[in-house]
Amino acid sequence: MRLLKFLSPFVVLLAVSASAVPTKAPLTYTTEQSATAMELLYRLQDGHFNKQRMNDQLSRDFLDKYLESLDPAKMFFYDKDVKGFSQYENEFDNFFNKGDLSVPYQIYAIYQQRVRDRLSNVIAILEDDTVNFSFDGNDSVEIDRKDAPWIKTMGEADDLWHKRIKLGVLNLKMAGKTVDEARETLAKRYTNQLNRIKQEKSEDVFEIMLNALTVLFDPHTNYWSPRTNENFNINMSKSLEGIGAVLQVEDEFTKVVRLVTGGPAARQGQLKAADRIVGVGQGDDGEVIDVVGWRLDEVVQLIRGPKNTVVKLEVLPAGALSGGETSVIKINRDKVKLEDQAAQKAILELPDDDGRIYKLGVIQLPDFYIDFDAVMRRDPNYKSSTKDVARLIQELEKEKIDGLILDLRNNGGGSLTEATSLTDLFIDRGVVVQIKSSDGRVGRQNQAFSRPYYDGPLIVMINRLSASASEIFAGAIQDYGRGLVVGSRSFGKGTVQSVKELKLGNLKMTESKFYRVSGDSTQHRGVVPDISYPTLIDDTEVGESSYSSALPWDQIRAVPHPVYNDYSKLVPELEKKHAKRIKTDPDFVYLLDRIKFVERNADQKTISLNERKREERKLALETESMVLENERRKAKGIELYKSLEEFRKQGEEEQEEQEQAGPPKIDVDGDTLLIETGNIMVDFLAKPSASKTDAKELAKRY
């Protein structure tokens, strides 16, 4: 084996996996790419917040991540291939330090050949009329293969792929296609994938390889090739104006991170966070193109399009297993207008136990926005979230509200300056957030004014999709004891990235972390509410903690700060009343039942290839959904659904109404969580020691 040290990586790799030698000249790297790889590694080790060194352990992690990036479902590489690669598992640190990318490129060459061979075989099977598929047996297919062993034999691979093909045909058949139509559709999809893999260039391999390295430092550190940097706007919510969604690549899928409030997808209502887009089509009748394994910028190009045109998304729902049943969603493209994302207000009126009516102001803030162009022009009328919220508070106080609810659910963040200035409306001058850089220095974002704009009772609502700036604001309100925070645990993104130009492309790198005035990081853990609500959002699928390489939660020194109110004795009493109330609230009972329903069905690891069983399961799931809805309706005195057909039709009609209704308004009548938040506020205000006047005085105390 010592002799191998003197052989080039190219020769050694081919020696251990001779059967996988590509039939055409493999892609190779350029001198510029070699220099860029060395520069990227230097910048990561020198400037990333996580002072991680490229050593043998990181080298082994890189190999695992690179193979996962190429073949996440373990459908192409053989066990013998991986064993051949493993002889270099401790060498990639040395390769990157020298700019020697031969081994990663040869691994890709073997992957490319495996994909070509397999997809050519799959297409031939689909186009062979003598190959029949039956759907009346007892066989099933394993879907979640992330932890599965690598395929050992060609026979094992053939069996796995035969089941995959059969699953694809069955899914399309159940969606209304004939078997022949399903075969034709699948053949086209696999042909597209085959053509794409044949057209891959050195630049594509280079980007995949470097991102397998950067993601080891943290999930928000990425390499952008020159093409990616040119075609893909960093601000994804603006670059995806066509549907108003923020996307990312996870494994081989394009995953929905969040929807932009007021955008076409949010208004349409069917697309959800953590859904995976597996196909994209144009117009009502256009063919849906399979996009599994595509680059994110390529998927973006298909989704984008002129205003008032239709894009069709084939979606694998959040929690569903890869290869499971999909649905097609039609969305009318439109621009996400600033006014649709602007803060809005409403009045929520609720009684206490004695029948006294309390008037509560509600402000919904979907984004921390600011018109930077207008600010640069010194336009005094520039639009910002803080200015809009201040104006809405003024309008609400004219209506003599008893308390204020600030709704930050689904608010993915935005301007840090706005998070700071918005906090300024509720507390005295002081520190809002601490920022620790990679060199250990801690900076602080302070308030500008000395007196709060609003000093009345306050509750802040958050959920799993409240991120970044939302977490800074909610954390500050909680630490200062300025108000209660209710909802579900926030996203947990407490890191700051900057973009560095490289010889080729750019490096987006995490350089800092956010910390609250208490010293707690907002990273990973997020903001934990004072009173928690159940949620349908799976935090193993959505949120910082869902990333395997997310930076950990930690603490730094707290900043001396006043605590206006100590809610520690009040919260248990409010929680007790909350728990009692939701036990008999039909909407809360329904929400809890839906969560149990989703959790039960998320445990499925295999999918049956028996059509009758699949149809029976589909019918059972629909029936259970209708039963849960009817139980809610019965408790509320609403007419029950008499049949599944009626249930389905009503769902379609509600979907159309929602899409045509325009930007969503605050639903003070039907938003279960908002109404319960109002009830918690009433519980607080109705206390003998916390009448309206006393509560405002309590909030002023320093």
Percent of the chain scored above 90 by pLDDT?
Answer: 55
Residues with Cβ within 8 Å of residue 373, at least 6 apart in sequence? none
Q: What is the pLDDT of residue 82?
A: 96
Query: Catalytic site residue 345?
Result: no
With 90 as the cut, is the pLDDT of residue 408 above it? yes
Query: Catalytic site residue 545?
Result: no
Residues with Cβ within 8 Å of residue 653, at least 6 apart in sequence? none
With 50 as the cut, is the pLDDT of residue 11 above it? no
**What 3-state class would DSSP assign to 499?**
strand
Catalytic choice (407, 479, 538, 585): 479
Catalytic choice (421, 468, 488, 512): 468
Mean pLDDT of the chain: 86
Output the six-digit token pair for 25.
């000249």
Catalytic choice (493, 512, 608, 683): 493
Which position has the token pair 């699928």?
541
Q: What is the pLDDT of residue 246?
A: 79
> DSSP letters of 198-266?
HH--HHHHHHHHHHHHHTTT-TT-EEE-HHHHHHS-SSHHHHTTTTTEEEEEETTEEEEEEE-TTSHHH
With 80 as the cut, is the pLDDT of residue 434 above it? yes
> pTM score > 0.75 for this model?
yes
Check: CB of residue 267 under 8 Å from CB of residue 659.
yes
Check: CB of residue 666 under 8 Å from CB of residue 365.
no
Residues with Cβ within 8 Å of residue 502, at least 6 apart in sequence? 36, 39, 40, 43, 223
Q: What is the pLDDT of residue 491?
A: 94
Which position has the token pair 């993915």?
412
195/298 Cα distance (integer angstroms):
14
Output the six-digit token pair for 191.
């042909």
Check: CB of residue 94 under 8 Å from CB of residue 54.
no
Produce one character per residue of 365-377: b if its CB has 16 or more CB atoms within 10 Å, e if not: bbbbbbeeeeeee
pLDDT tens across 531-559, in order? 999 998 888 888 899 888 999 999 999 99
pLDDT tens across 442-484, in order? 998 776 566 788 999 999 999 999 999 999 999 999 999 999 9
Query: Catalytic site residue 493?
Result: yes
Q: Name the residue among 446, 412, 369, 678 with its Cα closest to residue 526.
A: 412
| Conformational region of residue 556, where left means phi above 0, alpha means psi within -120 to 50, and beta covers everything else | beta
How many other C-beta atoms can be found within 10 angstroms of the C-beta atom of residue 324? 14
317/314 Cα distance (integer angstroms):
10
pLDDT tens across 298-340, in order? 888 888 888 888 888 988 887 666 666 788 888 888 776 656 6
**What 3-state class would DSSP assign to 298?**
helix
Residues with Cβ within 8 Å of residue 659, at least 6 apart in sequence? 267, 268, 269, 332
